[in-house]
Chain A
């Protein structure tokens, strides 16, 4: 049958007003339902007619999923809170500036005004073959079109490939992992809270999803404990364009430094693998060492061990090495004045 894009298919629009109702609707319709937060990922799929859900559960009317609340131990961010709100929030900026900086690097101001934190961490892969409707592994087929001798894979994975070489494109995900955030999920069986790094899935577990949400599940909030409040943070995103671009790579670290030495650290990199990579080996290797360029150099080299480049993405190895180095040892700033 012929194919056409850019016309959204018909579906029933369901607009719950509470999280309980939203979760119930998702449970009722199961795989026939599409949950939509800000719509920045959803509209692509829908307009391209690659996804044709029976019902669309629009969360925009669920006020309890919006907003930033301080709790006894940190903050809780509703999954429907926009990225702009998070970037501007005084508490986030003061104590968890890593997240503020990460979300400020997402896409463009217009998209950040509409896009939500829940949507940003739950968005699907941006592999152009997959998004283009090619029948790849992730789409239920039995081939990866990006991982061929001539496949266009400049933006794909150097770690964690397992049939699929797509990467997780989220900018906020590595920051949330570095901050040891917890993701709150309402499931048909009740509330479930998982560590940020456990929210994401690799293709070895499920090749059709980047996260653990199953039909009937609803991500309601993300909690950031105070453990890392006010730590030394580093976030950097490298992208082709200065705005409205997914990362070629990003890095986020939270570091506690005492007497010039690294007391503790959490560091994650994204857009290098199908899921955001927490670099636990690097964390272990640098604990107790001076927070300086030498340690950064060592960390960078350690971080890229085991990387397997594809035809057009070997640059990601020096890039990851250098970003990890900078996340730990800092950037050698310029001194010129004019």
Chain B
């Protein structure tokens, strides 16, 4: 692959996309595009099978209850009704062995597909299968279900009050178990009335928190500060709202389960299905060609996929479970809201001297989550406080189960800290960009507390300062700041926010078959969830093989096609992890091609080069086409045609290579490149808002995200990620929410028009993005992921612009709506209870 040779100075400047490459950094149409725009793409709901039944779910009407009795006699007697599935028929929690051979013990608190003690309103408690959905519905309405209501709590702070109800009989707070245990542990924790005294002053109470870490001299940091702010801020619970719900179709054939549903990883969903079904992995065939969004909620599909699979086995017929929008609201996962109190010390120039963060994280109804922890880590990385303490309490509530949502914890960290930085800049008289610049991470920036060895973790590279500078230039920051702020009833403000999140993992496999038809066939187990990364990463392999993209076929979405072990598309890891795997397998493939050529034509492999679908002697001379090399590889057998396999690859890849044996030149490899540091991607985000102070209505009038994500692989797709995920962040700022009546523990906003994800008209028409395109030095292609890093910045750039327009005393929580602004702007102080969520 052509390398980009940069001087030290050049390495700190933006590089034009595609410099030095034929494919990388250049736009192209991905292999799935035509199918998507013509409607030919098939999602789970589009599949049909002979004799297929439909099933529908019965959801718990109560936030916490015990199912005492189910009488389905009348339903089962109806014509067309084929059967029901009850909680007792769902396999229980199971230990499992991960692909590293580690035994993971089952978590007794974790969720099952059907519950006999539902922990939230909307939890599935029963499923009914019939010849059609109308019959299912009429049957469900004939089922008698006797339920015993149990104590519940939908508010994490309320759950900590003396005498309040716990979400679970075992307690209300998740406490960490010492490693290596992954089991959850619950305790009953109540704070005292004295702890809650701060609430009267609008400050988050800070009672006992079971999780804590710190580094640096916090006291000295605050003592030496020119300004100390003590701020309370709450983020909202926000559902994933995938456009494709977790619809699933399943049937059994010759002892194998064929299952169709959306996922963020084709290959890694197989072991999850096997574990949930208590069945061998080699009996699972998983088909997922297209997925309508995941955002962390479909990492390995969804637990409810077992329902049609079990019904199909029980009734000996294919079963389709279509999940409705309301059902998706309940089972579709959500980001946990965090209530935070953060004390931050600043030097005169805005440099943070100390940061003390206290979090109350809402765990929802099942299991703990890592959002509170990630919130501390991202704060430590993105703002580089020299001294920091982090405390966290994760509280169980009878609300929807949470899961990772794009930038889990990181989004909340940025939403919580950025308004404090903005306020500090105003109080210190420091420019907002300048204040962020002095706190910006750079190089191999450290983060978090010291590990067991006393060292702090650090990143592979960070050029955020350059992104901030370039972004400020492109956004005309200085000119915008200097413009008039108020005219008529309108006030406007500009905001800037730093943003970051994890940008990649390592250790996955690539698999390429050079076919006798002269094609480069790349197999991938990445889920196709809409980001295009599942195709983009293979540009790296094609670049190394010097092959025209038109000769490359991508095979994905069906495990019967023998796919390699690939990363799941979560944690923004795909571009990083799979360009590494693609790089490795392309080098392996090129080497095998040269070896085949040397064996066929004479000389040594090193005498050959690969280009334009040929492997030929360097400088001209004998050579052979890829097709001829493939045929030769088949004759050679062994390692060349997949009858033997690269011993370094994962066991799933080994099985898949065996499945391709004899098809051509079969190359597989694993990414074992060295990697110093943790991969994170960074952005500087800018926004402008215009608010009408007589109505409280505001518009985002402009937005730009400037990314430091390493090498840009596919500019159009990256732009989609930068702006698309920024919009997810904006959703948190401008209105997406839950509405729950705490007296009954019932959600009342389960439709789009009530929980209000943003529409295309809620964001600027002409949002802009750019990227440095400076390669990450710790990965061979230099690329990192960008799925999650923009989310926090997308939210905080908006809230910072609002605060710049309206002042610091308007809001202490997101989302910020007309009602927030209207009441607080007139009063001159925040009028909404910062802790009260779900309004």
Decide: A3 near B56, CB < 8 A? Known: A242-B762, A319-B695, A336-B483: no
Name the contact of A148 in the complex, choosing from B696, B735, B743, B753 (C-beta under 8 A). B743
Residues of B within 8 A of A148 (CB): 743
B813-836 CB mask vs A (1 if < 8 Å, else 0) is 000011100110010000000000
A1-41 CB mask vs B (1 if < 8 Å, else 0) is 11111111110000000000000000000000000000000
Residues of A within 8 A of B818 (CB): 238, 240, 248, 315, 319
Pick the interface stretch among B136-144, B228-236, B628-636: B136-144
Alpha-carbon distance between A244 and B61 when the two chains are bound, in angstroms: 28
Alpha-carbon distance between A325 and B695 when the two chains are bound, in angstroms: 11
Alpha-carbon distance between A331 and B695 when the two chains are bound, in angstroms: 11
Contact A128 B754 (CB under 8 A): yes
Verify if B325 is at the interface (C-beta below 8 Å from A): yes
Pick the interface stretch among B286-294, B448-456, B487-495, B660-668: B487-495
Q: Closest residue of chain A to B752, judged by CB?
A: A244
Residues of A within 8 A of B822 (CB): 315, 318-319
Alpha-carbon distance between A148 and B754 when the two chains are bound, in angstroms: 20
Alpha-carbon distance between A332 and B693 when the two chains are bound, in angstroms: 11
Alpha-carbon distance between A243 and B699 when the two chains are bound, in angstroms: 12
Pick the interface stretch among A149-157, A179-187, A196-204: A149-157
Alpha-carbon distance between A248 and B126 when the two chains are bound, in angstroms: 38
Count chain A CB atoms within 10 A of each CB in B141, B740, B819 and give the residue with the most: B819
Verify if A246 is at the interface (C-beta below 8 Å from B): yes
Contact B483 A242 (CB under 8 A): no
Contact B819 A248 (CB under 8 A): yes
Residues of B within 8 A of A338 (CB): 483
Residues of B within 8 A of A245 (CB): 753, 756
Decide: A240 near B817, CB < 8 A? Known: A129-B748, A152-B741: yes
Residues of A within 8 A of B133 (CB): 7
List B126-152 residues whose CB lies under 8 Å from chain A. 126, 133-134, 136-138, 140-145
Q: Closest residue of chain B to A108, judged by CB?
A: B759
Alpha-carbon distance between A322 and B142 when the two chains are bound, in angstroms: 52
Contact B823 A314 (CB under 8 A): yes
Count chain B CB atoms within 10 A of each CB in A8, A49, A315, A318 and give the residue with the most: A315
Contact B137 A4 (CB under 8 A): yes
Contact B742 A315 (CB under 8 A): no
Contact B739 A152 (CB under 8 A): yes
Name the contact of B489 in the complex, choosing from A1, A244, A314, A332 (C-beta under 8 A). A332
- Count of residues in B whose CB is under 8 Å from the partner chain: 60
Count chain A CB atoms within 10 A of each CB in B59, B735, B822 and give the residue with the most: B822
Verify if B749 is at the interface (C-beta below 8 Å from A): yes
Residues of A within 8 A of B165 (CB): none
List A199-258 residues whose CB lies under 8 Å from chain B. 236, 238-246, 248
What's the nearest-Cβ distance from chain B to residue A186, in Å?
Answer: 32
Contact A334 B819 (CB under 8 A): no
Residues of B within 8 A of A333 (CB): 488
Verify if A90 is at the interface (C-beta below 8 Å from B): no
Residues of B within 8 A of A108 (CB): 759
Verify if A132 is at the interface (C-beta below 8 Å from B): yes
What's the nearest-Cβ distance from chain A to residue B565, in Å?
Answer: 38
Contact A318 B759 (CB under 8 A): no
Verify if B474 is at the interface (C-beta below 8 Å from A): no
Q: Closest residue of chain B to A3, judged by CB?
A: B61
Alpha-carbon distance between A150 and B743 when the two chains are bound, in angstroms: 7
Verify if B58 is at the interface (C-beta below 8 Å from A): yes
Alpha-carbon distance between A41 and B695 when the two chains are bound, in angstroms: 28
Alpha-carbon distance between A7 and B56 when the two chains are bound, in angstroms: 10
Contact A151 B756 (CB under 8 A): no
Name the contact of A319 in the complex, choosing from B696, B740, B754 (C-beta under 8 A). B696
Contact B839 A336 (CB under 8 A): no
Decide: A150 near B483, CB < 8 A? Known: A241-B758, A315-B819: no
Interface residues on A, range: 35 or more
Alpha-carbon distance between A322 and B58 when the two chains are bound, in angstroms: 47
Contact B819 A128 (CB under 8 A): no
Q: Closest residue of chain B to A128, judged by CB?
A: B748
Verify if A335 is at the interface (C-beta below 8 Å from B): yes
Residues of B within 8 A of A242 (CB): 699, 759, 761-762
Decide: A336 near B487, CB < 8 A? Known: A6-B327, A246-B753: yes
Residues of A within 8 A of B761 (CB): 241-243
Name the contact of A7 in the complex, choosing from B136, B142, B487 (C-beta under 8 A). B136
Contact B144 A1 (CB under 8 A): yes
B736-773 CB mask vs A (1 if < 8 Å, else 0) is 00011111101011101110101111100000000000
Residues of B within 8 A of A334 (CB): 487-488, 490
Contact B141 A3 (CB under 8 A): yes
B300-335 CB mask vs A (1 if < 8 Å, else 0) is 000000000000000000000000111100000000
A301-317 CB mask vs B (1 if < 8 Å, else 0) is 00000000000111100
What's the nearest-Cβ distance from chain B to residue A59, in Å?
Answer: 24
Name the contact of B735 in the complex, choosing from A5, A240, A318, A322 (C-beta under 8 A). A240
Contact B487 A1 (CB under 8 A): no
Residues of B within 8 A of A236 (CB): 695
Residues of B within 8 A of A241 (CB): 735, 756, 758-759, 761-762
Alpha-carbon distance between A214 and B326 when the two chains are bound, in angstroms: 32
Contact A326 B694 (CB under 8 A): yes
Name the contact of B741 in the complex, choosing from A145, A244, A313 (C-beta under 8 A). A145
Alpha-carbon distance between A313 and B831 when the two chains are bound, in angstroms: 12
Residues of B within 8 A of A117 (CB): none
B584-628 CB mask vs A (1 if < 8 Å, else 0) is 000000000000000000000000000000000000000000000
Name the contact of B839 in the complex, choosing from A2, A154, A246 (C-beta under 8 A). A154
Contact B756 A315 (CB under 8 A): no
Name the contact of A5 in the complex, choosing from B326, B754, B759, B839 (C-beta under 8 A). B326
Verify if A77 is at the interface (C-beta below 8 Å from B): no
Verify if A99 is at the interface (C-beta below 8 Å from B): no
Q: Closest residue of chain B to A332, judged by CB?
A: B488
Verify if A268 is at the interface (C-beta below 8 Å from B): no
Alpha-carbon distance between A3 and B136 when the two chains are bound, in angstroms: 11
Q: Closest residue of chain B to A132, judged by CB?
A: B748
Decide: A152 near B839, CB < 8 A? Known: A49-B137, A238-B697, A241-B735: yes
Residues of B within 8 A of A331 (CB): 488-489, 694
Alpha-carbon distance between A288 and B489 when the two chains are bound, in angstroms: 26
Verify if B101 is at the interface (C-beta below 8 Å from A): no
What's the nearest-Cβ distance from chain A to residue B786, in Å?
Answer: 27
Contact A152 B748 (CB under 8 A): yes
What's the nearest-Cβ distance from chain B to residue A299, in Å?
Answer: 14
Alpha-carbon distance between A138 and B137 when the two chains are bound, in angstroms: 25
Contact B58 A4 (CB under 8 A): yes
Contact A318 B762 (CB under 8 A): no
Residues of B within 8 A of A154 (CB): 819, 839
Verify if A262 is at the interface (C-beta below 8 Å from B): no
Verify if A323 is at the interface (C-beta below 8 Å from B): yes
List B484-534 residues whose CB lies under 8 Å from chain A. 484, 487-490
Residues of A within 8 A of B753 (CB): 244-246
B246-257 CB mask vs A (1 if < 8 Å, else 0) is 000000000000
Residues of A within 8 A of B759 (CB): 108, 241-244
What's the nearest-Cβ distance from chain A to residue B284, in Å?
Answer: 29
What's the nearest-Cβ distance from chain A to residue B352, in Å?
Answer: 34
Q: Closest residue of chain A to B819, judged by CB?
A: A315
Q: Closest residue of chain A to B132, judged by CB?
A: A7
Contact A2 B145 (CB under 8 A): yes
Q: Closest residue of chain A to B126, judged by CB?
A: A2
**9 shortest interchain CB distances as A-B pairs:** A6-B324, A7-B137, A315-B819, A332-B488, A128-B748, A334-B487, A242-B761, A322-B694, A243-B761
Q: List 24 A-B contacts (CB under 8 A).
A: A1-B141, A2-B145, A3-B141, A4-B140, A5-B326, A7-B56, A7-B134, A49-B137, A152-B838, A239-B697, A241-B735, A241-B758, A241-B761, A242-B699, A242-B761, A315-B819, A318-B822, A319-B696, A322-B695, A323-B695, A325-B694, A331-B488, A331-B694, A338-B483
Contacts A152-B839, A243-B762 supplied; 4 other A-B pairs, CB < 8 Å: A2-B144, A132-B750, A238-B696, A334-B490
